[in-house]
Amino acid sequence: MSPQQILVLDPAGADPDAEHQALRDRGPATLVDILGVRAWSVSDPDLLKQLLTSEDVSKDARAHWPDFAETVPTWPLALWVSVSNMFTAYGKEHSRLRRMVAPTLSARRTAALQTDIETLVNAILDDLGALPADETVDLREHLAYPLPIAVIGRLMGVPADRRPEFRTVVDTVFATHLTVEEQVANTATLYGLLDALIQIKRTEPGEDMTSSLIAARDEEGDGAALSDAELRDTLLLMLAAGYETTVNVIDAAVTALLTDPQQLAHVRSGRCTWQDVVEETLRHQPAIKHLPLRYARAGIALPDGQTIQTGDAILASYAAANRHPRWHSHADRFDATRPSKEHLAFGHGVHFCLGAPLARLEVTVVLRLLFERFPDIQLAAGPHELKRLPSLISNGHTTLPVRLRPTPAH
């Protein structure tokens, strides 16, 4: 395939739906340019599931990406492929890291958080309810952000006064329009915050994820603890995955329901549940559009006759795959009543997101309580006026203006 045929992904993410359609139109997988790095974008959901479970596909860039050493110093997304945690691990190393982290996000621990989450949401809604009627509110800033930050902050033991700093640097991790220098500086700030948190918890451990990970030992292996790099990068993963993605799903769900009031009517009439809304949101607008990167450990023949060569980078294009017409009819339409809402928003296979149950719980609680408290809520801007995040990874809006209690004039 000639360089002229490579699709350059928009780092500003200005029109993701059109870009995802272009990917699907090019076949099951196509070569793309990601800020100067060439990779195979996979938008066919069945092929993507196959690759996500294949032993011939790795997430370990150091071991299986020949371009790693040359690329990392000058690539703005270097952090996404160079961290030392289960996100970039392969095989036995991935299994070791995942089993050390999994107890901190067990089903029991997640279910126990429901009451706390409801309390947090109600407190946020109380503050919003005190605002003057018909005032325009940025719901992303004043609801979608505060809840996940509070939840993951409590889970990790992040002091409340440090959470705004973590939010700023995590937002920047997902931005793909910045220079290498800007991202390097942001990473240094982020690691400084994480190192400070680890030091606090080493000195004064508590009932939190950070303290648990410091104390964790691989009981099924050699009994070793996480290395300093693994500990820091695992906390980075938990923070980023547990916060940014949930913000986006809340944003997308509220936007969908206010754009098409019939969907909200379906919930209120019992034709579908809030859980249905969450799953359709994850299908229609997954929090992560593209997830970098994976690498071929052997040649992989594609259905259209092309071959992903050994060492080639692979981009999981979840948003494009979720709307593939072979999986869903009228896939571009948000329909919470559709019988099948199969999606890949949380990945697939051994790297399936450990925090998926928590994200689903948070979004379900937010939607239920928000629309109970403010049944007449309206968008304060047209759907097409909402500005996309400047990211080819993160899928959301910069703001979500709404009127919680619109007056008759609106």
Instruction: Order the strands of the 401-403 sheet from edge to edge.
Output: 136-138, 401-403, 378-379
Tokens of 157: 């033991």
Q: Do 292 and 315 touch, CB atoms closer than 8 A?
A: yes
What CATH code is carried by the domain that includes residue 384? 1.10.630.10
Residue 150 lies inside a defined structural domain of this protein: yes
Assigned domain for 410 exists? no
Do the domain assignments include residue 398?
yes
- The reported pLDDT for the residue numbered 405 is 86
The residue segments making up the domain with residue 314 are 3-403
> Which residue, 44, 288, 314, is CA-closest to 176?
288
Q: What is the Cα–Cα distance from 261 to 376, expressed in whole angstroms? A: 10
**pLDDT for the residue numbered 104:** 87
Residue whose C-alpha is closest to residue 71's, from 33, 42, 41, 43: 33
Q: Where are the beta strands (DSSP E) in 214-331?
A: 291-296, 300-301, 307-308, 313-316
d(CA 302, CA 339): 30
Residue 409 counted as domain residue = no
Contact assessment for residue 132 and residue 250, using Cβ atoms and an 8 Å cutoff: no
235 falls within a domain: yes
- CA proximity to 226, closest of 241, 237, 215, 211: 215
What does DSSP say about strands 29-34 and 313-316: parallel, antiparallel, or unpaired? unpaired
Q: Give 15-58 pLDDT, tens digit per residue.
A: 999 999 999 999 999 999 999 999 999 999 999 999 999 999 99
Query: What is the identity of the amino acid at 359?
Result: A
Q: What is the pLDDT of residues 338-386, one digit of tens each?
A: 999 999 999 999 999 999 999 999 999 999 999 999 999 999 999 999 9
pLDDT of residue 400: 99
Q: Which residues have C-beta within 8 Å of that of residue 100, sequence separation ≥ 6?
A: 213, 216, 217, 218, 226
Could you tell me if residue 408 is inside a domain?
A: no
Number of separate domains in the chain: 1
Residue 72 lies in a domain: yes
Query: Using CA of residue 324, residue 329, residue 330, residue 331, what is the dihedral sign?
Result: negative
**Paired tokens of 126:** 């109380």
Q: Is 102 a domain residue?
A: yes
Single-letter code of the amino acid located at 118: E
Low-confidence ranges of the chain (pLDDT < 50): 1-4
